[in-house]
Structure formats: structure tokens, C-alpha cells
Structure 1
Amino acid sequence: MHHKNILLISATTRLHDRMRDLSHAIDVSIALANQETFSQAVSSGHEFDLVILDAEGMGKEILNAVDAFVAENGFIPVLLVQDLDKLPTLRMPTQGKNDFILSTASVSEFEVRCTLLLWPGEESAPADIVTVDNMTINLATYQVYIDDEPVDLTLMEYSLLSFLVTHPSRAYSRETLLHRVWGFEYCGGTRTVDVHIRRVRSKVGPQVASHIVTIRGVGYLFRI
């Protein structure tokens, strides 16, 4: 699986927390738009691999604009978010590979639905278990073990470590790590990356820490 870009179009913020968690669970970046900013988002030069469209509060004009956008770009897959009581009025795009999901769905269900649309046929490509020296990472359960003993990592420490381990031998800037690991709405400074790297190194021990290499003037990479 390689990195994908998602455009979320929503009139509310009700999906934002789940989208942040989704960006931690799978290898995606998520851009936000509403009815007023949709045209700006699609003309920004970014290429999107999936559109998540929250139907709540959306007028016919924006729905037609989304239809035109996905058609003009090779029928980008659309995941339509609908409230349970409005399922009888569900309006699915007529072309392309699309799906729908209830607005109350969990992050886990969003992960499954998005994975099926973004990586068809590759859903189980990455192994759930990653081993480096005396460290084992279970990507399915978010657990890290050193010499078969669990390591007490915070969610962000785990997310940073697992991202670097699953993207080895490539240097990532602090800004990129903030975007890829902390998510689309993180507004803190790049110093937080250094702090988390230091904490991860101290918790995983010197053998694994030696794989986390500082690239002066750039950022970090995980060397195999």
C-alpha cells in the first residue's frame, strides 16, 4: 500500500475526530472542505484518491459539483456518509466504484471502507507483525514488544514509531512527520517531533534506537 490523499467534504465538524484517527490508522492524508471551500480545495493542485462526502446539510448544487469533479478526474471513488433516518433518500453516484457508510460508524469501519476503495485487492498487503532486531510491532493491536515484553508507549509515540518502521530507509522532515503522524489539524511546532523521538528512543532501548537516525537539517529516518 502506498500513501493516498482523501478529500473530506462536510458542512459540519462531526467527522473530524474520526478522520484524525483514520489518518493514524492507515497511510492517508486528509484535506477538509465545505460547500464554500470546495472549489478552492479541488483547484489547489492536490490530487485526491478518494472523496468522503458527508451528505448532512449539503445542497443539490454542491452534490452536482462533486459529481462533476469526480467524473472529470477519472471517477475518483466516493464514500458517501448518510444518517440512518435518511437512508431512503440515499443518492449514490451512478458511475465509478463507490460506497456509503452511516454517520455513526466507528473509525474501524471507516478504515475498512476506505481501504477497500483506496487499495482494492491489497487490503491485507502489509503484514500485521513487523519485527526489527528484538522489537516486534503488532500493527493490528497497536502493541510494541521488546524481547517479548510490552513497551508502554503513548498513542502518538506508537504512531511515530510505527510510521518510521513501516517507511524505512527514507528521510522525513519534521514538517512531513507532523502532517503524516499527527494529522491534518495539528497546529503545534516541529519541536514536538524531536521530543517524541527522544521518548521513543528511550523506551525501545539502544538496540532499536540505533535504527532511528537523525538526518541533520532534514529530520529522521528508520534505517534497516
Structure 2
Amino acid sequence: MHHKNILLLARTSRFIERMRELKHALDVSILPTTPETFSQAIDSGHEFDLVIIDSGGLDQEALNAVDAYVSENGFIPTLVIQDESKLNNLHLPAQGRSDFILSTAGELEFEVRCALLLWPGEESAPSDIVSVDNMTINLATYQVYIDDVPVDLTLMEYSLLSFLATHPSRAYSRETLLHRVWGFEYCGGTRTVDVHIRRVRSKVGPQVASHIVTVRGVGYLFKL
């Protein structure tokens, strides 16, 4: 599995928290948009691997715009969130891979359906254990150990460390790390990345910290 980008089209913010949960469960970034900002989102320069449509409150014009975008870009996979009371009105793209899920579905089902569309044929997750020197990261439990002793990291510190450790030997700019780790919706400055890198280095100790390399003028790289 490798990083994917998701576009969420919704009239309301009722699934924003669910998107944050999904972002931490899978290696994805999510850009929320509305029918009014949809054209800006698809012209933003980002390439999307999945379009999630919260159909509640969307009119046919908005659905037609998604159909056109999906078909014009190689039939991007689509997941439609549908209220059970409106199943008779379910609209799925005529071509390409698509699926639907009830708005009342649980977090795990939502995660699995997205994974099936994002990584067809790769549904088996890679090893949940990442080991580097005296550090062990358990990707399934969001825990980090140094010499078998748990390290007290915040969620964002863990997310930053685990992202770098699972994407080694490649330099990432601060802006890219903000998108990959904090998500498209984050509006803070790039200094946030520097602060979290400093905290992570201090908590994991010098042996592991030496793997987190500052690339001058670019950002950071995890060196194996």
C-alpha cells in the first residue's frame, strides 16, 4: 500500500470527523469540498485516487459534475454515502469502480470499503510492525517502543514519526508533510512541522533521532 488522496464532496460537515478517523487508519490525505467549491478542488493540481460523495442534500447538477470529473480522469473510483431512507434514489457512476455505504455504517466498514477501492488486489495490509535500531512501531495499535519501553507521543507526533519511518529514504518538504500528516484541512504554518520534529527527536532518543535527517532547503528525510 502507498499514500492516496481522497476528495470528499458533501453539502454538510457531518462526516468530517469520520474523515479524520479514516486519515489516521489508512495512509490517505482528504480534501473536503462542497458543490460550490468543487470546481476549485478539482483544479487545485491534486490528483485524487478516490471520490467520496455524501449524497445528503446534493442535487443532480452536483452529481453530474462528479460523473464528468470521474470519467474524464480515467474513471476514478467512487464511494457514495447514502441515507437508508433514500436508497431508492441511489446514484452510482455508470462506469468505473464504485460502491456505496449507508450513512449509519461503522468506522471499520467505512475503512474497509475505502481500502478495497483504493488498493484493489492489495487488501492485505503490510506488516503492522516497523523496526529501526532499538525502536519498534506498532502501526495497528499506534504505539512506539524504544528498547521495549513505550514512548509517550501525542497523536500528531506518532503520525509524523510513523509516516517518515514507513516512507524512508525520500525527502519531504514541510508543506508535503503538513498535507500527508495533518491533512488538507490543516491551516497552520510549516513551523508546526519543525516543532513536532524537535519533540519527536527528544522523545525517541539520539539513536533513532539520528535517522530523522534535516534536508536543508527542503524538509526532512528518514534515513535507514
TM-score class normalised by the smaller sequence = over 0.9
Give the gaps of 5 or more residues in structure 1: none
Q: Structure 1 segments of 4 or more deviating over 6 A?
A: none
Query: For residues 54-93 of structure 1, what are the alpha-carbon distances to aligned partners after superposition, in whole Å with 9 as ceiling and x for unaligned?
Result: 1000111211221222122222111000123223332223
CA distance in 2, matches of 1:73, 1:189: 32
What SS is found at the alignment partner of 2:39? helix
The residue that corresponds to 1:118 in the other structure is 118
What SS is found at the alignment partner of 2:145? strand
Give the gaps of 5 or more residues in structure 2: none
Whether the 8 Å contact between 1:20 and 1:184 is mirrored in structure 2 is no
Whether the 8 Å contact between 2:6 and 2:49 is mirrored in structure 1 is yes
Whether the 8 Å contact between 1:23 and 1:180 is mirrored in structure 2 is no
Q: How many Å apart are 1:127 and its aligned residue?
A: 1.4
User: Are residues 1:19 and 2:2 paired?
Assistant: no
**1:58 counterpart letter in structure 2:** L
Q: How many Å apart are 1:21 and its aligned residue?
A: 2.9
The residue that corresponds to 2:109 in the other structure is 109
CA distance in 2, matches of 1:144, 1:204: 9
Q: How many Å apart are 1:137 and its aligned residue?
A: 0.8
What SS is found at the alignment partner of 2:18? helix
5 Å-filtered alignment, 1:58-207, equals 58-207=58-207
CA distance in 1, matches of 2:205, 2:107: 32
Residues matched between the structures, number: 224
Q: How many Å apart are 1:125 and its aligned residue?
A: 4.5
Q: TM-score, normalised by structure 1?
A: 0.93
CA distance in 2, matches of 1:112, 1:35: 26
**2:210 counterpart letter in structure 1:** S
CA distance in 2, matches of 1:198, 1:43: 35
Q: TM-score, normalised by structure 2?
A: 0.93
User: Are residues 1:219 and 2:219 paired?
Assistant: yes
The residue that corresponds to 2:42 in the other structure is 42
Bigger drift between 87-96 and 69-78 goes to 87-96
